[in-house]
A and B are shown apart, each in its own frame.
Chain A
Amino acid sequence: MRFPFKTGYDHDLGLFRDPVQRRWYAALLVGTLILPALVPDYVGDISLVFIYGLCGLSLMVLAGYTGLVSLGHAAFLGIGAYAHVYFVQDLGLPWVAGVLLAALITAGAGTLVGLPALRMTGVYLTIATLAFALIIQEVFTRWDTVTHGLKGRPVDKPVIFGISFANDLAFYFLCLAVLIAGLWLTANLLRAPTGRAWVAIRDSEIAAQSMGVHLARYKTLAFAYSAALMGAAGALFAHKIGFLAPDIFSVLLSIQFLLMVVVGGLGSLHGALYGAVFVAMLPVLISQARDQVPQWAGQAVGVFGKDAGSAAFLALDRFVKQPGLEPGIFGLILVLFILFEPLGIYGRWRKVQLYFSTFPLYKRATFRRQKTYMRSERLR
């Protein structure tokens, strides 16, 4: 096992645990920079991973760190997207100003939702955010002047300071830059008193209050900050999908965001990103599997005779072309994670790390009693 050797208090204030970790993150950065050259066909999908990463970060702050579970985050994404497009395309503001204003407006909306959150906890708050999302979706449908209603509105490619980010590769780097900025800001907050106050609220409201944490202020702040991140993500999301319509920002999208933080692992920034990779790439994998699996099955069964092979192919083909397969798989995965790995992909990763760092001494029982749930999961 490796113990970090600390020589000063600043060691615990840094973003990275030790120089080794810093080098790993540098390697990861280089990796993301050269990734488009390795998999040019997937550049678009990976930029969606980055945008979802921002969304995951946003919900992680709220659900993972402050313990307030929201099922309405798609609404914030929508507000950010529409606001950005309105400011840039209708009012002709610069792109950066559009993003910042979108973040500000969603922060305002987040504050509004956060206010009732001071009186509600657990599942009741979740239902309130759900109601908020439904109302906002209705607003998107009716507010023609800004949203163009059900007709939807096309979104131009981003142009920043006269530089066009029209091609996929440029947009990839734009998303990466915004994601890194979001990560940096969030990590800063989490290592400062604000982040500690959030964690305190998550783990014990009564103790946090007795230690001097102003519950109302910090809960509202969590909502506002989370919403602002979502607003910035919304601006990128608008460019990514190229066409805004109210039905995009549905409850299903909110559920996907929640899935992201739960599957990734509540209470860690890594988890938000793992979850984003998972949620953004799974549909890609499913659609590929849709084409491939029946063929493979057909060939495999085809060994027993041509008729059996084609019958297997047809049956499987019909099954995978069923609508609703994707949400079904998402739901199944969510259930499996909650049952077997409450700390998500990140929790699993930590176990793998521990296995190798303690190599011959690892015991299965090490994690036997550690199937703990955080309070945000228990929904007190």
Chain B
Amino acid sequence: MSLFAAQDLAVNFGGIRAVDGVSFEVEAGQVFTIIGPNGAGKTTIFNLISRIYDPSQGRLLLRGEEITGVPPHEIARRGIARTFQNIELFEHATVLQNLLLGRHAHARPHFASELLFLPGVRVRERANREAVEKVIDFLDLQAHRDSLVVNLPYGVRKVVEMGRALCTEPVLLLLDEPSSGLSVEETEDMAFWIQDIRTLLGITVLMVEHDMSLVGAVSDRVLALNYGRAVACGTCEEVQAHPDVIKAYLGG
């Protein structure tokens, strides 16, 4: 059984069918990449998985369990974390606070004890901090721990956002264009991190990406989309050589 599966997924925005009957399966431990020209529906699929949009048809399965009807704030607790194409960090908070929020998925509300800051809150906060520090060490963010996100350069923000997703202890990590806006060297670092996330942390990665050098370096399987439909699926070389994919990008 695959870790994650989308079956016959479709969504309509008015008259536009942004995603049109897409099916794919992600095996545990894979890096699965979705590519496609602008407007192909890649980010829409991500938004469907994180339940920001309701699919018009189709099902989403995580470890065989259906998550199509799960409310959006439940998704993180089920083990799916994501990053965003245009970085959605909490800008007026420190890196540490951003990462700590990643721990929120597993916290149960304790309003009364937090109001009085009872010892239990302190114990939980320490545990959260320890988990966060592991991610900080993993991503080499020590130097930025106490800086506000507004003051950080774009490349670091990208890493912080990935760190925040890792703090939720996901089984499936959704990366929406991890290399967009990064320099060549930062993109190379990103490739190493994605490989480390898979091999060292054992997290399955589903990503949307345009940079084919990064896609080729890390992906086990690639799905190409065009106009909301799956065009080709296979290894990076297979998909790149597929005539329909070439047609989708170059026209003809």
Query: Which residues from chain B contact A210 at a C-beta distance below 8 Å?
Result: 50, 52, 72, 75-76, 81-82
Q: How far is the CA of A185 from the CA of B115 in the complex (A)?
A: 5
Interface size on B, residues (CB 8 A): 46
Q: Among A188, A200, A206, which residue has the most Cβ atoms of chain B within 10 A?
A: A200
Contact pattern, A 7-38, Cβ under 8 Å of B = 1, otherwise 0:
00110110000000000000000000000000
Q: Does A191 make an interface contact (CB < 8 A)? A: yes
Query: Which residues from chain B contact A374 at a C-beta distance below 8 Å?
Result: 92
| A13 pairs with B126, CB closer than 8 A | yes
Query: Which residues from chain B contact A372 at a C-beta distance below 8 Å?
Result: 91-92, 150
Query: Which residues from chain A contact B251 at a C-beta distance below 8 Å?
Result: none
Q: How far is the CA of A199 from the CA of B125 in the complex (A)?
A: 17
Query: Which residues from chain A contact B124 at a C-beta distance below 8 Å?
Result: 193
Kindly identify which residue among B104, B110, B114, B133 contacts A212, using a CB–CB cutoff of 8 Å.
B104
Q: How far is the CA of A210 from the CA of B107 in the complex (A)?
A: 14
Chain B residue with Cβ nearest A197: B104
Contact pattern, A 181-202, Cβ under 8 Å of B = 1, otherwise 0:
0000100110111101101101
Give A350 Cβ to nearest chain B Cβ, in Å.
Answer: 12
8 A Cβ contacts from B74-107 to A: 74-77, 81-82, 84, 88-93, 96-97, 100-107
Query: Which residues from chain A contact B76 at a C-beta distance below 8 Å?
Result: 210-212
Give B111 Cβ to nearest chain A Cβ, in Å.
Answer: 6
Query: Which residues from chain B contact A10 at a C-beta distance below 8 Å?
Result: 122, 126
Interface size on A, residues (CB 8 A): 34
Chain B residue with Cβ nearest A373: B92
Kindly identify which residue among B106, B122, B164 contacts A13, using a CB–CB cutoff of 8 Å.
B122
| B101 pairs with A197, CB closer than 8 A | yes
Q: How far is the CA of A13 from the CA of B96 in the complex (A)?
A: 12
8 A Cβ contacts from B149-198 to A: 150, 164, 168
| B73 pairs with A203, CB closer than 8 A | no
Q: How far is the CA of A185 from the CA of B73 in the complex (A)?
A: 27
Give B127 Cβ to nearest chain A Cβ, in Å.
Answer: 10
Q: Does B130 make an interface contact (CB < 8 A)? A: yes
The stretch among A55-63, A213-221, A269-277, A323-331 that forms the contact with chain B is A213-221
Kindly identify which residue among A191, A202, A212 contacts B73, using a CB–CB cutoff of 8 Å.
A212
Give A109 Cβ to nearest chain B Cβ, in Å.
Answer: 18
Q: How far is the CA of A124 from the CA of B9 in the complex (A)?
A: 34
Q: How far is the CA of A321 from the CA of B105 in the complex (A)?
A: 59
Contact pattern, B 43-61, Cβ under 8 Å of A = 1, otherwise 0:
0000000101000000000
Q: Does A358 make an interface contact (CB < 8 A)? A: no
| B126 pairs with A9, CB closer than 8 A | yes
A-side interface residues toward B, CB under 8 Å? 9-10, 12-13, 185, 188-189, 191-194, 196-197, 199-200, 202-204, 206-215, 217, 221, 267, 370, 372, 374
Identify 14 residue pairs between A and B in the complex whose beta-carbon atoms are under 8 Å apart, listed by A's number. Answer: A188-B117, A189-B114, A192-B121, A193-B100, A193-B104, A204-B91, A210-B52, A210-B82, A211-B104, A211-B105, A212-B75, A212-B76, A212-B106, A267-B92
Given contacts A193-B114, A200-B101, 5 further A-B contacts (CB under 8 A): A192-B114, A206-B88, A207-B89, A208-B90, A209-B73
